[in-house]
Amino acid sequence: MRDYLLRRLVSVIPVLFLVSLMSFAVIWIIPGDPTAAFLDASSTPEDVARLREMLGLDKPPLVQMAEWYGRVLTGDLGQSILLRIPVLSAILERLPLTLLLATLALILAVGLGVAAGTFAATRRGTWADQSVMSLALLGLSVPDFWLGLLLIVVFSVQLGWLPSGGYVPLLDDPLGWAKSMVLPTITLAVVQVGFIARMTRSAMLDVISQDFMRTADSKGLSGLYIILRHGLPNAMMPILTVTGIIAGALLGSAVVVEQVFALPGVGRLIIGGILSRDYPIIQGGLLFLTVIYLLINLVVDLLYATIDPRVRLE
Amino acid sequence: MRPSLKALAFAFGLMTALVGVTPAVEAAGGEIVIASVQGPPSLDAHVTNAQVARNITLHIYETLYARNENAEPVPDLAEGVSVSDDGLTYTFKLRQGVKFHNGKEMTSADVVASIERYRKIGVSPALVAAIDTVSAVSPYEVAIKLKVKQSVFLDNISSPRAPIAIYPTEEAAKGANEIQYIGTGPFKFVEYKPDSHVTLEKFADYVPNPAYQKRDGLAGKKEVLIDRVTFRFIPEAGARTAALESGAVQIVETVDGPTAERLRKDSKYVVHDVLPFAFQVIKFNHAQAPSDDVNFRKAVQAALDMQEVMEISYSGINQVDGGWVFPKSAFANDAGLDQYNVADFEKAKAFLSKSSYKGETVTFITDNLRPNVDIATVVQARLAEIGVKVDIKVADWPTTSKIGFTKTGWNFWTHGFGIEPFEGPGTVMSAFVGGNAQMVADPEIDRIAKEFYATLDDAQKKELFKQFQQRMYDNMVAIKAGNYGLFQVTSDKVKDFVPFRIPRMWGVTLAP
């Protein structure tokens, strides 16, 4: 187990190197630099050159890259050009919101998705199965930015129950915080609910037809007990795989949801970084998200072994 | 839009556990929340000329002179100015008793330090390029000596573009983006949460300029009647409008035409048409064929129907106007306008046949702002009628501007000229001096601009500007498509709001 962990952690290094190299390449390929955020269209090329020098952008790209790698090795992701604070601080400041949003959405998606998928599987071929699966397909097909705006129109504008956007820190106002998280969480979760429901139904159908399920039934156990005790645990492997993928995908989708609901999270930080060509934010942000993504994958692999003792981590 | 009963029932079912209360109604005094499109790149006024930044910074900082309602320079932190007979020395008398937000009184030392800082790191160095020396004559007098006479010096010193804001000496000693946000303005800085909001609060020790009786542009009497103002950054247009309709914000900086028309019908909102707000310009790259050929450029101008161009891009809020200043400017004239909005394909084809155009594909670059893309599309369709093939390249602003500041990779580039016409004819001209916009210097433009900047005679300035406008058409340096505006929307609770280029929060009250 320890060797496995060590090997997995070491294998992260080349992935991170490749990701950072690719982010550098993309930045070189795309024209434009951070001066565009500071200057308007009638600025002169001399104004641009002067500002480039002031922002330290006049160094050759290779020198900038070497300096960046040198700093990263000491744990320093650099300084944001626009925010003028260390990139790591900028990310860590916003990370709790994004992680919280993704976690709430994941809990909601897994809870609803597994319940809906199991319900549909136990009623295979009935109108209830068809209805749940149609709803799941609808959820999968709805674009999240559109759903977000629709929810805002209904719950904020028409009903006035929930705020249309913005973030309220938990410690400042717990009720306000809860309200500010409801619509973004639902928006983020809906697509994934459909995904998990379909996967759960399919996995459960495989399990339901197994001999041990029939045996349990013939012993006179209650239907709910059989599903919870014997069915779900055996259907968990594919659900867990999907959940792992979703956990990563949620971080990506959070970008859109943070934009619609004006939430100051990591996704919005990176989008802002890309739009204003704040290179250190782009590079640091991508590196950080890659680390999180790899960690999620590692955790999922470790969970396989916990759930199914037949899986050996070698 | 009203939801159906089913939608409401669904909503009710989903939300039973989270029954909320309607948003709290702001008390008198209170806080106004403004929905902004994006956050500022910096709150150090000297280092950015982005509009999103000045909308905020001009509440925190002030300048010696500022633009009034008609965009003319009038005293703000200064009581007035005296100009030496040779036109080279400007002596500004400062207002006494003006306090910075840190409690310190503003004196000439602060003014000198701030202008010197701007000369070193200011993002629009052209504003201070003519300055030779800046010195304190007395605690309340500052003398600025120019290298050469400059007719637009007061225009420059009062420019809101990247304002020459007056900072306390100790802040002015700091580098770009390193200052604490301390100014003399009617609001003081409270908090900047990137990607979320900037909050300012009323500066209790602010003494409105006694020389004025009422609000006047960015100068005048700045009396603050609310407690706080928050600029909340909501990038999604639909979410900005929803925030207004749900009561979360009271002012939206800009909405699109259809939204403005919908809100206009609702008595809960006031839609303000800020027109003209900017020029829509189509630049030509004179360094690249075939747009290096005046006949080709004239063919493009002759082919365009400006009514169509402006109405498609800025429906319901545009002016078909070819003048290179706003229509109400003292410099407005009709030179060259016979060549504007011709919309005559035969004439266009005649120019094209005289040009060096050989059927190649020309490149139109534009950022992804919807009206700009629409304009590129209209131009493409019109030019197809005369046999010119146009390839439109859409990218985000940093990419487009990077290409547009170089001599290759583009033939046309369209965007707004906002602050330039607001500042006046001198700034409009400067955009074309030395080939800044068109990539190849036009000696005639350069000559006219040089003479314009040197003369202090108003009649002569008007005559020179007329020559400039004529030259813009005769050499078809660039196309002025028209003027566009923007829709600012306020809640009916916001009283005494007067729309302006920068949404001013002084003189405004919030009804309970």
Q: Give the tens place of pLDDT for each residue, A37-78.
A: 777 666 777 777 777 777 777 777 788 788 888 888 888 888
CB < 8 Å to B7, chain A: 154
Same domain, B152 and B113: yes
Same domain, B66 and B87: yes
**A5-44 per-position pLDDT tens digit:** 788 778 888 888 888 888 878 777 777 777 777 776 667 7
**So what's the ipTM on this one?**
0.76
Closest chain B residue to the Cα of A176, Cα to Cα: B20
Question: A262 and B196 in contact by Cβ < 8 A?
Answer: yes
Q: What is the model's pLDDT at position B23?
A: 40
CB < 8 Å to A159, chain B: 8, 11, 15
Question: A164 and B22 in contact by Cβ < 8 A?
Answer: no
DSSP B22: P
CA atoms of B173 and B287, how far apart (whole Å): 42
Token pair 């003209």 is found at: B276
Question: Between B305 and B430, where is the model more confident?
Answer: B305
pLDDT at B22 over 70: no
Among A46-50, B49-53, B386-390, which is the least confidently predicted range? A46-50
DSSP for A95-127, written as a single string? HHHHHHHHHHHHHHHHHHHHHHHHHHHHTTTSH
Among A202-216, B7-21, B76-90, which is the least confidently predicted range? B7-21
CB < 8 Å to A54, chain B: 47, 121, 176
Query: Residue B271 falls within a domain, yes or no?
Result: no
State the sign of the Cα–Cα–Cα–Cα dihedral A104, A105, A111, A114: negative
CA atoms of B258 and A179, how far apart (whole Å): 30
Q: What is the model's pLDDT at position A283?
A: 86
Q: How many CA atoms lie within 13 Å of B74's alpha carbon, on the beta-carbon side?
A: 16
B10: confidence class by pLDDT, cuts 50, 70, 90 = very low
Same domain, B236 and B325: no
DSSP for A37-66, written as a single string? HH--TT--HHHHHHHHHHTT--S-HHHHHH
Share of chain A above pLDDT 70, in %: 97
**By residue range, what is the domain housing residue B114?**
31-245+493-510
Query: Residue B20 falls within a domain, yes or no?
Result: no
Same domain, B218 and B281: no
Instruction: Please provide residue B388's backbone torsions phi and psi, each rounded to the nearest 5 degrees.
Output: -100, 125
Query: Residue B223 falls within a domain, yes or no?
Result: yes
Rg of the Cα atoms in chain A: 24
Q: How many domains does chain B have?
A: 2
**B197-223 per-position pLDDT tens digit:** 999 999 999 999 999 999 999 999 999
Query: Residue B57 falls within a domain, yes or no?
Result: yes
Interface test with A, best of B34, B195, B250, B365 (most A CBs within 10 A): B195
Contact A214, A238 (CB under 8 A): no
Same domain, B201 and B301: no
Query: Residue B449 falls within a domain, yes or no?
Result: yes
CA atoms of A90 and B194, how far apart (whole Å): 9
Question: Between A235 and B309, where is the model more confident?
Answer: B309
Query: Residue B238 falls within a domain, yes or no?
Result: yes
pLDDT at B1 over 50: no
B28: confidence class by pLDDT, cuts 50, 70, 90 = low
Query: Residue B11 falls within a domain, yes or no?
Result: no
Contacts 24+ apart (CB under 8 A), B130-134: B130/B156
- For residue A134 the two structure tokens come to 């149609």
Interface test with A, best of B180, B246, B406, B407 (most A CBs within 10 A): B246
Instruction: Please provide residue A162's backbone torsions phi and psi, each rounded to the nearest 5 degrees.
Output: -130, 150
CATH class belonging to A95-261 = mainly alpha
CA atoms of B340 and B190, how far apart (whole Å): 49
- For residue B158 the two structure tokens come to 């009062």
- For residue B283 the two structure tokens come to 């630049």
In whole numbers, what is the pLDDT of chain A averaged over residues? 84
Please, what's the b/e burial string for B253-270 (b: 16 or more CB within 10 A of its CB; e: otherwise)? bbbbeebbeebeeeeebb
CATH code where residue B350 lies: 3.10.105.10
CA atoms of A232 and A212, how far apart (whole Å): 13
Query: Residue B205 falls within a domain, yes or no?
Result: yes
Same domain, B365 and B411: yes
Question: B49 and A164 in contact by Cβ < 8 A?
Answer: no
3-class SS of residue B470:
helix
